[in-house]
Chains A and B, each alone.
Chain A
Amino acid sequence: MWIALSQLFFSIDFLAASVRFAMPLASAAVGEIISERSGVVNIGLEGMMLAGALGSMMGAYYLEDPWLGLLCGMAAGALVAAVHAFVVITLAADQVVSGAALNIGLLGLTNFIYRAVYGIEERPIVAHFEPVAVPVLSRIPILGPVFFNQIPLVYVTYGLVIVAAVIIVRTRWGLELQAVGEHPRAADSVGLSVSRVRYLTVIACGLLAGMAGTFFSLGQLHTFIEGMTGGRGFIVLAVVIVANWSPARAALAALMFGAAEAVGLRIQALDLGVPYQFALAFPYLLTLAVYIGLAGRSRMPRALGQAYVKD
């Protein structure tokens, strides 16, 4: 039985599903890292992802193209992020509460907009992303079908993680961002505009959260359902800490959580006599366990969560 089990869990399908579930987490995690590295906590991620899911679904509905839908979803995420930025940067209000307010508000607002536009009739199925095999790469044994036979959004996320890692670690822009997150007063004294940098990072986070939300609407279900991001935005907050604010490690952590979700699905599908509620709770339990195990080793950006007010 154990051999049969291991074969099922380590099948190509299982691994490919892990990657599919991991990528929205990775995309949102990269956004959160950019924002947090500059000193702004964004626990409103879940709300921004929901806004992205609805925005991209509506974009794809009216423009009949998933890529244009993606742009709408990212714009929706950025719009919400702009509100967060204004409240916590310009008004210097509490970052955690602002994020919580956005989560609550967007759970309601996305329901309101969806119902106001589409009523309570059957959910429209919109233009969406289909898996595309990458020539050559998809023919590599095992790795090919796992990583390179996915929807195009997945490939965009691969690129994103690499670009973000390079920007943060290797470029002047990344240094500025870190300076603002570690010691805003010093950054200010050498002529950096703390609020300009933070506005940009928070809005970048919104764009990426919007893209993460698009995975759910245009990648998985091809429509919008209230609360369809199901707490993934919160899992991402844990991913970022466990990854010690590094995009590359965040991608690895995201893969692990993606695998947890895939395990949950497998447990349900295999009918092992394990209650399905356990399968559905598994990703959250794993998040908790990993967070408890690893979080103590992380070092967070020093000015994280603190508003910067010029004298």
Chain B
Amino acid sequence: MRELLRQAFAPRSSRLQSVILPLAAVLAALGVGGVMIAVAGFKPLEIYASMLESAVGTPQGLGVSVTNAIPLILAGLGVALPFRCGLLNIGGGGQIYIGALFATLVGLGLHGLPPAIHLPLALMAGFIGGGLWGAIPGSLRAGRGLSEIIVTIMLNYVGFWIVSYLVHGPLKDPESYGYSWTMKVPVTAQLPLIFAEARINLGIVVAFLAAAVSHFLLSHTVPGFEMRAVGAGAQTARFAGIRVGRSTVLSMVLGGGLAGLAGTAVILGVQYRLSDFFSSGYGFTAIAVALVGQTSPIGVVFAGLFFGGLQNGVNSAQRSLGIPMGVALSLQGLILLFMIAGQSATLIRWLRKRRTARRVDSTQPAVLLD
């Protein structure tokens, strides 16, 4: 972990490398995935072509990809920020549900407000809900040294079952018999469409803004610098007078809040009703998004758009060509493995050694001429 964190903290070695590595990882994963698809009796090229076509081929398709990307970017930021502080937030799943719950409560509970007030209030509530759910592992880590990984995973289940209980019980819309979900949030709390034809809602602006604010926070503010210093080495940061615990809690609150916003954006922008089945593994995908985006907020935006398109492509290919849904998660896992393999110290050293070896070879003839 420390090696990776040191890399995350160090200034990017080159802009080129930060683009080439994810691209190479994606291509390698598509290659291995293609073999897998072929073994299962499908035609990988046909499937990939159809995925690409449905993900970006039409305005509607592009709209679905971008809409998918909204929660992925937000939840990806929710992993990336704590990661820069040396923490792995696997709790996106629970934070998404609790954030969505808070936003829904504000959405349903307040009446007669203009959208300009109601919507920001609901968004803020979602951020606070997720932030509270992130504050628990953050403060347990800071105060008692408990693993944020284990606490966040357990809170994923607890958060999910809380929402499940509420939407089947006290919050259930009495007029919907078949489904267990809440009433529709009023229009004043909904994220309106900004591109009607492609059906893209205002959530994408929220996601971009969140990325911009995260970038500014990490790169241009003192708390952001402290978080990165803690990520680079908690011990050193402590000697430098940085309050490690405070940075730890702050990064988890922000991370949880961003994940909470992800859930909020799905409810207020797409579903309009809270249910216990709206989040399809966003928490896990968020980890892939954050790491493929090299935990930089700007990188997360691109990675989120990519994974949003991938999800859309796999969904369509499942409908039209019958490939199993598992392809999307399989590819995510493969991409992640290739990412960390590509960043690994051993591989980098090996490449460097080969390069110097080649240089020695090329000097050989000159020596011989002497």
Contact = CB atoms under 8 A, between A and B. Distances in A.
A96 interface: yes
Nearest to B40: A116
Given A284-B158, A296-B145, A307-B3, A98 B340 contact: yes
A107 interface: yes
B165 A91 contact: no
A307 to B, nearest CB: 7
Contact of B337 (A105, A234, A287, A291): A105
A225 to B, nearest CB: 13
Tell me the interface secondary structure of chain A in the complex: helix
B330 A100 contact: no
Contacts of B151: 288, 291-292
Interface in A63-113: 83, 87, 90-98, 100-113
B277 interface: no
Given A241-B147, A278-B165, A288-B158, A107 B284 contact: yes
Interface string B2-38: 1110000000000000000000000000000000100
B329 A287 contact: no
Contacts of B195: none
B336 A116 contact: no
Interface residues of A, number: 53
B251 interface: no
Given A107-B284, A280-B161, A281-B158, A291 B150 contact: yes
A109 B326 CA distance: 6
Interface string B150-183: 1101111110011011001100000000000000
Interface residues of B, number: 55
Contacts of A98: 337, 340
A231 interface: yes
Contacts of B332: 104-105, 108
A277 B149 CA distance: 23
Nearest to B146: A295
Most chain A Cβ neighbours within 10 Å, of B140, B150, B168: B150
Interface in A226-264: 226, 231, 234-235, 237-238, 241
B325 A97 contact: no
B336 A104 contact: yes
A108 B331 contact: yes
B347 interface: yes
Interface of A: 43, 83, 87, 90-98, 100-116, 226, 231, 234-235, 237-238, 241, 275, 277-278, 280-281, 284-285, 287-288, 291-292, 295-296, 305-307, 309
